[in-house]
Amino acid sequence: MRNEKRAQHLAEDSENWRSMATRKLIEDPPLGKAGERIITLAVVCFFAIYLSMHRATSGWLLAIFLLLTFTALCTRSVQPFHLCLFCTLWLLVPLLMPLLGTWPLYKVTPLVVYGVIVGISRHLRESVLWIRPGRLGVDIWLLASIVVVASSAALLVWTSVCQPDLTASRDNIPAMPIWLLPLAGVAFALVNSAVEEAIFRGIFLQALDSAVGSGIISLVIQAVIFGWLHYSEVGFPKGLAGVAMASVYGFLLGYLRYRSRGMLAPWLAHAGTDIAVFTIVVRS
């Protein structure tokens, strides 16, 4: 009798450990209905239009995002609502407070407000499937290292060949003693990469996975949106070449997120590249 109970406890412990291991990996969201897919793809299209306008928020564009958010809420379309809510906040926050429209607040503030809203609602909180560390095997470390080295080398080549004006990027670095620069570079890399990964490999990619399925189409769409964000005077890299380079980079980070089934690997890879970005800007 005692042996049977012990065996039962061991079986329960084993099941609990398997369950914990599973929760560390990103689960694919359920494929949405036709209406939910339309809402998600509409948000992505209008967000691309917004980025094409150099993040200049117009009344009609904000009205469309508010309407899409309201539609997702009324139809209880959970995954589209996450994307609608975040994109609406991205447009609305700097409109209400212009000071928040500067770098990096225009990305950080809507993400923080979104996180607070989602954290309050248990239903929304439980539907966030991308906040998982994933696995970090030898293959993942190797792939992440290749991404960092290749992207850093590409940035060095782009800077040497194109000789871009990095004044706007340099102006974002406050004056500080030279010994503080390495700490500032690491802090920038960790925070900036965390914010951008949460937005594009988190919110955007999960919504797209629900709309078109987990795979190449979702990877390409989120990568292009990520790349298009760099078409501005403060983007690095910037211009059309920057869009192309950042799109390829966003695709690789998305693939790394799929491969590791978590956010830790793409975050570390992104942070490694951002350290190279900071170094290039400072040296310029």
Q: For residue range 181-231, list pLDDT tens digits in order.
A: 999 999 999 999 999 999 999 999 999 999 999 999 999 999 999 999 988
pLDDT at 112: 97
For residue 13, pLDDT over 60 is answered with: no
Please report which confidence band the pLDDT of residue 166 belongs to, taking 50, 70 and 90 as the band edges: confident
- Contact, 211 vs 40, CB < 8 A? yes
Q: What is the 3-state secondary structure (H, E, C) of 171-228?
A: HCCCCCCHHHHHHHHHHHHHHHHHHHHHHHHHHHHHHHHHHHCCCHHHHHHHHHHHHH
Segment 118-159, tens digit of pLDDT? 999 999 999 999 999 999 999 999 999 999 999 999 999 999
Exposed, middle or buried: residue 110 (CB in 10 Å: 0-12, 13-18, 19+)? buried
Task: Please give the structure tokens belonging to residue 263.
Answer: 């956010």
What integer pLDDT is reported at residue 283 of this predicted model?
Answer: 86
Chain segment 92-119, per-residue pLDDT in tens: 988 888 888 888 889 999 999 999 999 9
Q: At what angle do helices 105-120 and 181-196 cross, to 10 degrees?
A: 50
Domain layout of the chain by residue ranges: 29-126, 138-283
Query: Would you state the pLDDT for residue 234?
Result: 65
Q: How far apart are CA 135 and CA 146, in angstroms?
A: 17
Question: Mean of the per-residue pLDDT values for the chain?
Answer: 90
The pLDDT of residue 17 is 37
Residue 15 CA: distances (Å) to CA of 6, 26, 263? 14, 19, 24
pLDDT at 175: 85
Q: What pLDDT is attached to residue 42? A: 98
What size, in residues, is the chain?
284
For the chain, give the percent of residues with pLDDT over 90: 72
Average pLDDT, integer, range 67-81: 96
Q: How confident is the model at residue 1 (pLDDT cuts 50, 70, 90)?
A: low
**pLDDT category of residue 53 using cuts at 50, 70 and 90:** confident
This model's pTM is above 0.75: yes
